[in-house]
Amino acid sequence: MKISDTVVGAGFLAAGALIIAGTMHYPPLDGGYPGPSLFPRILGGLMVAFGGLVGLKGLRTGDTTEEVEWLLLHKSTGFINAVFVLVGVAAYILFVERLGFLLMGALLLFVVMWRLKVPPLKALLVAVVFNTLVHFLFAKIMRVPLPLGLVWW
Amino acid sequence: MIDHIWTALVMLSSWNLMLTIAICSVYGLFVGAVPGLTATMAAALLVPFTFFMDPLPALVAIVTMEAMAIFAGDIPAALVRIPGTPSSAAYTDDSYELTKQGKAELVLGVDVITSAIGGLMGAVVLMTSAPLLAEVALKFTSFEYFWLAALGLSATVMIASTDPLKAGLALFVGLFFSCVGLDITLGYPRFTFGSTELLNGVDFIPAMIGLFGVSEILRNMGSSHLQYPITAVKAEKIFSGVAKTLWKYKRNMVRAGGIGVFIGILPGAGADIAAWIAYAASKRFSKEPELFGKGAIEPIVDAGTANNACLAGDWVPALVFGIPGDSITAIVIGVLFMKGLRPGPMIFEQQPELIYAVYISFIIANILMVPFGYLAIKVSGKLLKVPRNILMPAILMFCIVGSFAINNSFFDVGLMLAMGILGYFFENNGIPVAPIVLGMVLGPIVEQNFMVSMIKSEWDLTQFFTRPTAAILALLTILTWVAPFLPVIVRRLRGGNASA
């Protein structure tokens, strides 16, 4: 997902300004010297300056990249797969406590592999075996309290 | 010193450390040999495991893994023209051209031996320079530490990147993350948005796993079915002709080793930069520069030596000052803190055995590189056939569980995901990710030492320049920023004088 430098620069410029704005209510040190706000403000200022320069550079070089290549994104398999992974992990975070790691982890693995064109039966087998191994390694050997959910093992 | 070395050797000879070295050697070789997986990602994924280890096996695991991974990156570079890690990119074209000429065995033999020699050169420099620098560092105050960290930040932006503006932006993002949480002067919560999880700051480990692991997976999603046309290699022939080649270029190796170690010691610049600079130096001093890029063995000798020599060099500022030499040593510093160890000169006084064991593990890893490297080359065809559409989801699962394991928190898994998206977006837009890590590690050092210095000097800024060492470090920092513009300024001045 390539975005033009002008837009990237403008984004950082805005982010820098927001950081500075976020420090306005921070208390000063005794004697009125800047305390918690000093570093974020310097950083915000630098982000504004560098973001502005990147944006200007983009404008000057006549950056030909579309502002965001939105219209082409739905054709990009890589991008769609990436979104699939992100949604899958988000769903994992939401449901793993209820369903448990063994079920939810295997489901996530299966869905992502299936999306990446692994034959369904092979994907299912790999997902179950690999996820059980990960569970054994982390939950049983390293004693990480992975959520049990519906499967009590 | 002999006592410390003996104790370190005894510590390293335990069966669990031997097993750690063997497992991490295989892990490093695998990660390096599979294109798309980087040594930094491998280090980030190792961290959840190191959480459950003692400090020594944790450090030895990272040392072994990174040494093996940086060498193994040369294998796909030679066989399929894709560098396994960014450190092999500089000489990929030469390696592949030689492979096309039927010299794949020679290239891989030179790769493994120069990597081992470079690594050993780096280890010697680490062993000799780190204790000396540690004695100097004992005299450092907050003023010197501030400038040292500032020098690291400057080098990250000005030396370690092709686009300083974008590297700067990435660095500021990392520094911003380091500001999140309770501030050091008043304990005031900054940018926490009411979240109790953020009061202790942005957790370094899920952030690393997201930036280097998840973003890498997302990038690989478009090429998950890629099949490489693989050249068959006769592994038993890889050492034939290597000695003659290396003897011919013995001076190059010394020079490249020196460059590698120097770049390593410089805070912020890693093995990929070392390889590119060694490549440029090789071409500059070569009798046959016209062959570079078209199948010359000389740049492979140079850059292959430099990138592995750089690794031990990177550990010098990390151990002595707590300033990371590259993104992997930034992770190492995180691991040390996690283990309750504070990197810096005092660790040389308090835990000398640990430091000597790290030195020796560098030597062991680089000696083992030859037999393990031989085996990796022997199975290289199979390594390159690993189905990526199964490998990537498997790595994703390790990322998720690894992030969770540090604090047993789903907030960290969400943080990992957010960092993954950030890393994916940054890399796709030419913004390097490594400066974010360095910013996160160096941010608290810069801020803490600056605020402490200001408060104890009653806000007298001149104190930053009046101590001799601080003044030298300040000058070096300023030079780092000014140096790239010097030729332009000199040219303009000369032009102005000529027209006058």
Task: Please give the full DSSP string across A92-127, using - where no structure is assigned.
Answer: HHHHHHHH-HHHHHHHHHHHHHHHTT--HHHHHHHH
Say yes or no for a CB contact (<8 Å) between A23 and B190.
Answer: yes
Distance in Å, alpha carbon of B427 to nearest chain A alpha carbon: 9
CB pairs under 8 A between A and B: 154
Name the residue with higher pLDDT: B483 or A70.
B483
Are B49 and B20 within 8 A, CB to CB? no
The minimum CA-CA distance between B462 and chain A, rounded to whole Å, is 17
- Which tokens hold the place of A87? 């949604």
Residues in chain B: 500
**Mutate which: A116, A140, A143, vs B, most B CBs within 10 A:** A116
Q: Which residues contact B156 (CB under 8 A, 6 or more apart)?
A: B167, B171, B267, B268, B269, B434, B435, B438, B439
Are B185 and A134 inside 8 Å of each other by CB?
no
**Contact flag A3-B185 (C-beta cutoff 8 Å):** no
Q: Where are the alpha helices (DSSP H) in B195-297?
A: 204-208, 215-220, 242-248, 250-265, 271-285
Instruction: Report how far residue B496's alpha carbon sits from residue B490's, in angstroms, rounded to the nearest whole number.
Output: 10
Chain A residues with beta carbon closer than 8 angstroms to that of B185: 29, 35-36
Compute how many other C-beta atoms are within 10 angstroms of the C-beta atom of residue A104.
Answer: 25
Tell me if B52 and A2 make a contact (CB, 8 A cut-off): no
Strand, helix or coil for residue B37: coil
pLDDT digits (tens, 9 = 90+) for A78-129: 888 888 899 999 999 999 999 999 999 999 999 999 998 899 999 999 999 9
Q: Is any Cβ of chain A less than 8 angstroms from the Cβ of B459?
A: yes
How far apart are alpha carbons B185 and A19 in whole angstroms?
19
Does residue A142 belong to the interface with chain B, where contact is any CB pair within 8 Å? yes
A61 touches chain B (CB under 8 A): no
Q: Do A116 and B222 touch (CB under 8 A)?
A: no
Contact A76 B429 (CB under 8 A): no
- Give yes or no: residues A124 and A84 share one domain: yes
Q: Are B224 and A77 spatial neighbours (Cβ–Cβ below 8 Å)?
A: no
Half-sphere exposure of residue B13, counting CA atoms within 13 Å on the CB side?
6
- What does the DSSP assignment read for B134-195? HHHHTT--HHHHHHHHHHHHHHHHHTS-S-HHHHHHHHHHHHHHHHSEE-TTT--EES-TT-
Distances (CA, A) of B243 to A121, B250, B301, B466: 51, 10, 12, 53
- Contacts of residue A25, defined as CB under 8 A and 6 or more positions apart, other chains included, come to none
Q: Note the pLDDT of residue A109.
A: 95
Residue range(s) defining the domain that contains residue A49: 5-70
Question: Per the domain annotation, does A146 fall within a domain?
Answer: no
What percent of the residues of chain B are helix, what percent strand, and what percent coil, each to the nearest 5? 80, 0, 20
| Contact check, Cβ <8 Å, B404/A27 | no
Looking at the structure of chain A, the number of domains it has is: 2
Number of alpha carbons in the 13 Å side-chain half-sphere of residue B112: 26
For B77, the token pair is 């570079």
Residues A22 and A41 in one domain: yes
Whether A47 is covered by a domain: the verdict is: yes
Cβ contact (<8 Å) for A142 and B49? yes
A147 part of a folded domain? no
pTM: 0.84
Residues A64 and A81 both lie in one domain: no
DSSP state, A31? Answer: G
Res. A152 pLDDT band, cuts 50 70 90:
low
Predicted local confidence at residue A70, as pLDDT = 60
Which SS3 state, helix, strand or coil, does residue B345 take? helix
Whether B341 contacts B71, CB under 8 Å: no
* B169 interfaces chain A, CB cutoff of 8 Å: yes
Check CB contact of A24 with chain B, cutoff 8 Å. Answer: no
Q: What is the pLDDT of residue B87?
A: 86
Percent with pLDDT over 90 in chain A: 58
Can you tell me whether residue B381 is helix, strand or coil?
helix
Question: Which among A36, A54, A113 has CB closest to B169?
Answer: A54
CA separation, residue A62 to residues B240, B256, B422, B430 (Å): 53, 40, 26, 17
- Judgement on whether residues A41 and A13 belong to the same structural domain of the protein: yes
Burial class of residue B384 in the structure, from the number of CB atoms within 10 Å of its CB (0-12 exposed, 13-18 middle, 19+ buried): buried
Q: What is the pLDDT of residue A69?
A: 58
Q: Any chain B CB within 8 A of the CB of A57?
A: yes
pLDDT at B229: 65
Q: Is A114 on the interface with B (CB under 8 A)?
A: no
**Is the Cβ of B478 closer than 8 Å to some Cβ of chain A?**
no
Same domain, A87 and A54: no
One domain for residues A130 and A93: yes
Q: What is the pLDDT along chain B (500 residues), one digit of tens a residue?
A: 777 788 888 888 889 899 999 999 999 998 888 876 788 888 888 888 888 888 899 999 999 999 999 999 899 888 888 788 888 888 888 998 998 888 989 999 999 999 999 999 999 999 888 888 888 888 889 999 999 889 888 887 876 667 889 999 999 999 999 999 999 888 999 999 988 989 989 988 889 889 988 988 888 876 655 566 667 788 788 888 899 999 999 999 999 999 999 888 887 678 888 898 899 899 888 898 888 888 899 999 999 999 999 999 999 889 888 888 888 898 888 888 888 888 888 888 888 888 889 989 999 999 999 999 999 998 887 777 778 888 889 989 989 998 898 788 899 999 999 999 999 999 888 898 888 988 898 899 899 999 999 988 888 889 899 889 999 999 999 998 888 777 777 888 777 665 54
Q: Do A142 and B405 touch (CB under 8 A)?
A: yes
Query: A134 and B397: CB-CB below 8 Å?
Result: yes
CB contact under 8 A, B396 and A57: no
Reference B427, options B186, B249, B215; nearest CA is: B215
Tell me the two tokens of residue A120.
Answer: 């369904």
CA distance B50 to chain A (A): 11
Q: A34 and A13, same structural domain?
A: yes
Nearest-CA distance A71 → chain B (Å): 17
Answer whether B179 sits within 8 Å of A51, measured CB to CB.
Answer: no
Instruction: Kindly state whether residue A148 falls inside one of the protein's structural domains.
Output: no
Mutate: best of A19, A68, A73, A112, partner B, most B CBs <10 A: A112
Q: Nearest-CA neighbor of A131 among A108, A99, A97, A98?
A: A108
- Tens of pLDDT, residue by residue over A47-62, are 999 999 999 988 888 7
The residues in B 293-312 lying below 8 A from A, measured between CB atoms, are none
Q: How far apart (Å, rounded) are the C-alpha atoms in residues B87 and B442?
A: 23
Q: Kindly determine whether residue A116 and residue B392, on different chains, have CB atoms separated by under 8 Å.
A: yes
The residues, ordered by sequence, that sit 6+ positions from B475 with a Cβ below 8 Å of its Cβ are none
Taking CB atoms and an 8 Å cutoff, what residues of chain A touch B175? 39, 43
A10 and A40 in a common domain: yes
B419 → chain A, closest CA residue = A86
CA distance B470 to chain A (A): 21
Q: Do A50 and B397 touch (CB under 8 A)?
A: no
